[in-house]
Amino acid sequence: MAERLGLVPVVTRTMVARALAVLEELPRPLRIAVNLSVMDLASSECPRSLSNMMAAAAKPGRLDFEITETAVMRDTEEAQDALLVLLSQGARISLDDFGTGHSSLGRVQTLPLDRIKVDRSFVASIEKDRTSQAIVKTTIDLCRNIGVSCVIEGVETAAQLAALTALGARLFQGNHFGRPTGAAEIIAHHRTPPRHSASA
């Protein structure tokens, strides 16, 4: 509905403002990721507006922006220009849901990426499905060779984690590590001093 009404850039600016406010309460090296839509990337005004917001923030360089292949299919050059504006403020760019779009390698070659996130659809049967294993392993090797980090999405079980680790994966995301949590709870967690066991 937001896309149909043309309100996505407004939603994005609101989310970035909220993310920047939360970052002021979080210690390094924690970062926050915000998704960008095709409407954000197609508008020259939206990236400039986000860049100005980041420039005025206390901790602008700890934002990640996540994009999908679908979001950059309309005009890769325009999307690249938009992302470069955000990179100039210290942001990092992640390609989300990798492997589910079109011309994946072409996007990797042309976009200024810091991270590739492998779609969860390859993880569900990773323990037994040799095709999924081959795709994930190839993507991990690709990321290593081109100098970007690789995150495996949708890790739900210890068995999946073990299988992915055996393939060379090192960064993961999913409910196996923690359920979605609100900003207030995250801030409170990091304000709580760590417990130290008493010495014998």
Checking if the pLDDT of 158 tops 50, the result is yes
Query: For the chain, what is the total number of helices (H) and then of strands (E)?
Result: 10, 6
Residue 143 within any structural domain of the chain: no
pLDDT band at 195 (very low <50, low <70, confident <90, very high): low
Q: What are phi and psi of 172, to 5 degrees?
A: -140, 160
Residue 32 within any structural domain of the chain: yes
91 neighbors 125 (Cβ within 8 angstroms): no
14 neighbors 54 (Cβ within 8 angstroms): no
The whole-number average pLDDT for the span 41-64 is 86
pLDDT band at 4 (very low <50, low <70, confident <90, very high): confident
Range of the domain at 27: 1-92
Residue 129 within any structural domain of the chain: no
Round to whole Å and give the CA distance between 97 and 116: 8
Round to whole Å and give the CA distance between 71 and 114: 17
Checking if the pLDDT of 187 tops 70, the result is yes
pLDDT band at 200 (very low <50, low <70, confident <90, very high): very low
CATH of the domain at 25: 3.20.20.450
- Give the pTM: 0.86
Burial (CB < 10 A; 0-12, 13-18, 19+), residue 136, is buried
Checking if the pLDDT of 138 tops 90, the result is yes
User: Domains in the chain: how many in total?
Assistant: 1
Higher pLDDT, 40 or 77: 40
Q: Model confidence over 62-121: pLDDT tens digits?
A: 899 999 877 777 667 788 888 999 999 989 999 998 887 665 576 788 888 999 999 999
Residue 107 within any structural domain of the chain: no
The confidence score (pLDDT) of residue 50 equals: 93
Residue 78 within any structural domain of the chain: yes
The confidence score (pLDDT) of residue 197 equals: 46
pLDDT band at 198 (very low <50, low <70, confident <90, very high): very low
Residue 88 within any structural domain of the chain: yes
pLDDT band at 122 (very low <50, low <70, confident <90, very high): very high
